[in-house]
Chains A and B, each alone.
Chain A
Amino acid sequence: MAEVLAETPLITGDLTPADVTRDVCTPLEGKPTGLWYAGFLLALSALLLGGLAVGYQIAKGIGTWGLNRTVGWGFDITNFVFWVGIGHAGTLISAVLLLFRQKWRTSINRSAEAMTIFAVICAGLYPVIHMGRPWLAYWVFPYSNERGPLWVNFRSALLWDVFAIGTYFTISLVFWYVGLIPDLATVRDRARGLRKRILGFLSFGWRGTARTWSRYETTCVLLAALATPLVVSVHSVVSSDFATSVIPGWHTTVFPPYFVIGAVFSGFAMVLTLMLIARKTMRFENYITLKHIHAICKVLVFTGSIVALAYLTELFIAWYSGSQYEQFVFLNRMAGPFAWAYWIMVSCNVIAPQLLWFRRVRNNLALIFVLSLVVNVGMWFERFTIIVTSLHRDFLPSSWSGYVPTLIEMGSLVFGFGLFFTLFLLFCRFVPMIAMFEVKPILARRERPVAQPTREVA
C-alpha cells in the first residue's frame, strides 16, 4: 500500500523543470483570460459597493448599523472572527506541513499563504470600522503621549488581539515574501525591459548560490517553527475576546482550542474553494491534482469532526455546569429566535462534511466545490450564533432585545468578500501562484539532453 502511494506522482503530466517555469510564468506574461476579467469585475464591484456602505457608515456613525445597547457586536465582529479563521489554513499549509515535510503542500502553499495575508487584511479592517472613528485607530498602540502618558490596558483581551493580529500579519507577509524571492528571480530572468527592472528590484538580486540556498532553507524552517505556535496563539487570543468576559455562552475554557480548530476547518474549506477555481481557470490540473484535493478533503472531515465534538462539549458542559444561565443560553440557541442560525451552523459544519468520508464524493469536484462553500457559510454562522445569541438575552429580561442587520451592515459583509477576491485575483495575475523552486525537485522525471562542447565567452 505504502509503495503504491509512493509511486503515484504528486505532479502529473510528466513535466520537466522547464515546463514548470513555463506553466507558472505564462499566465503572468500574457493577457488574462476572459474568466479572470469576469471574476475581477465581479470582485471589484463587490468591493466598491461594500466600500460605499462602509464609507457611509464612517461618515454617519455606527448608528447606521442594527446594533443596539444589548447586542453590541453583530456582523462586524462576526466578519472579523470569520476572516481571521480563514487565514489559519494558509499558515498551517506553509508552516506546519513544512515542518512535517509533507510534499503535497508545495503546489498550494504559495496561494494558501496569499489567502492568509488577504484574509488577515480583511479581518483587521473590521475592528477598525467598528471603532466608529477609524482615524483614531492608532490609539490602540502603546506610544508615549500627552494624555498622562496614558497607556493602553495590557490586561484586556482586545489589546492582545492588536498584538496577535499585527504579528500574524507581519510574520505571514515576511514568510510569504521570503518564499517568493527565488521565484521572482525566475520571472525576472525571463522578462525584458521595464518588467525586468521591476522584478530586478523585487527579487533582491537573488542568484541561488549554494551558500545562499543553505541559509535560505534554514531560514524557512525557522520561520515555519515561529509561525506554528503563532497561528495557534492568534485564534486563542481572538477566542479570549469572548472567553475572558462573563457572558454565558462565551465564558468557557474550551474556547481557545475550539476556535483554533474551527479556524483551520474554515480555512481549509476556503483553500479548497480557491484551489478548485485556480486549477480550472489557470489550467493547473497537473499541479493541483486529485491527490491534493483528497488530502484537503481529509483534513476537512477530520477538523469538521473535532468541531462537532466541540459543539457537543459545549452543550454537555452547559447542562453539567448546573448554571441556569448557561443552560438557558444553549436552549435559546437551539430553540430561540436565532434557532435558524444555529441549525444552519450544525447542518453545514457537522453534517455536510461527513459526506467527505466517501471516496465517490471526494472524486466529484462539483460536489466538493459546493461542500467547501457550505462549510464557509456554516462557519460564518457559527461566529454569528456565538456572538448574537449570547448577547441578545441579557441577565436582566428588561434588557432583552432583538437584532436585525441593516443594509449598510450587509454592505460591510460584501466589502470583505469584494476586497478578498479582488486581492486574490490580482495575486493570480501578477505573482507566480505555484512555488516553482519547491515543485521542481519533486518532479518524477528529469530530461537530460545531449551534451555540447564548451563555448568560449569573453
Chain B
Amino acid sequence: MSRSLHTGFFFDEHDLVAAARECRERGIPVVDVVSPFPIHGLDEVLGIRPSRMAWVTFVGGAVGLGLGFWLQYWTSAFDWPLNVGGKPLDSLPAFVPVAFELTILIAGLATAAALLLRSRLWPAKRVPAGLEVTTDDRHALILAQEDASFRDADFEELWRRHGAVDARRETEVES
C-alpha cells in the first residue's frame, strides 16, 4: 500500500504547533516535525515523552565513581603498596579528586554517546534531500494521508488556515 506525505512549511513555530495540535485532535497521523531549533511545547502536542537520558548519565557517573575508587584502591593498597611520605595506603580523602573527575568523565561520555546512538546520528550519515530549508528558517510538519477520509483539498485548507508558507505532497511507496 502506498501513502501520501503532505509537508507544510511554517515560518512561525507557533503556527506549526497549532496545526499539529489540530491534526492530533482530528486523528491525522503526524509523521514528523523538522525544525531549525527546538520548538517548546511541541513535545506535549506530539505526545513525546520526556527523554530518559538522565538515567544514562546516572549509570555512567556511578560506573565512573566506582571505577575511580577501585582503580586507586587496587593500585595503591593491593597491587603495589607503596609508602609515600608515611601516608596510609588506603588514603580515602586523597582519592576523592580523581574519583570525582572519572565520575564526570564517564557520565559525560556516556550521555553524549547515548544521544548519538538513540537518535541514530553518526559521522557521514546520509540525509535525504528536500528539507534543506528546515536547517535555515522554516519548520516542516509532515503528515501522512493513509485513507480517503482526509483528502488533498482538506490538507490545502489545513495549511491555509494555519498560515503555512509553502506545502508539498509526495507519494511514498511502501512494500
What is the interface of chain B, defined by CB distance below 8 A to chain A?
6, 11-13, 32-39, 42-43, 46, 48, 50-51, 53-54, 57, 61, 71-72, 75-76, 79-80, 82, 84-85, 87, 91, 94-95, 97-98, 100-102, 104-105, 107-109, 111-112, 114-116, 118-127, 130-137, 152, 155-156, 159-160, 163-171
Contact = CB atoms under 8 A, between A and B. Distances in A.
Contacts of A208: 34-37, 134-135
Nearest to A215: B51
B120 to A, nearest CB: 8
Contacts of A212: 119, 121
Interface in A1-57: 16-18, 21
B168 A454 contact: yes
B37 A441 contact: yes
Nearest to B123: A201
Contacts of B111: 219, 222-223, 226
B76 A149 contact: no
Given A207-B127, A208-B35, A160 B98 contact: yes
Contacts of B119: 211-212, 215-216
Contacts of B79: 149, 151
Contacts, number: 236
A438 B37 contact: yes
A440 interface: yes
A78 interface: no
Chain A contact residues, majority secondary structure: helix
Contact of B51 (A201, A204, A218, A438): A218
Contact of A458 (B51, B72, B116, B170): B170
A206 interface: yes
B168 A222 contact: no
11 contacts: A18-B137, A190-B132, A208-B37, A213-B35, A213-B38, A214-B38, A214-B43, A233-B97, A233-B104, A441-B13, A455-B166
Contacts of A401: none
Interface in A146-170: 148-157, 159-160, 163-164, 166-167, 170
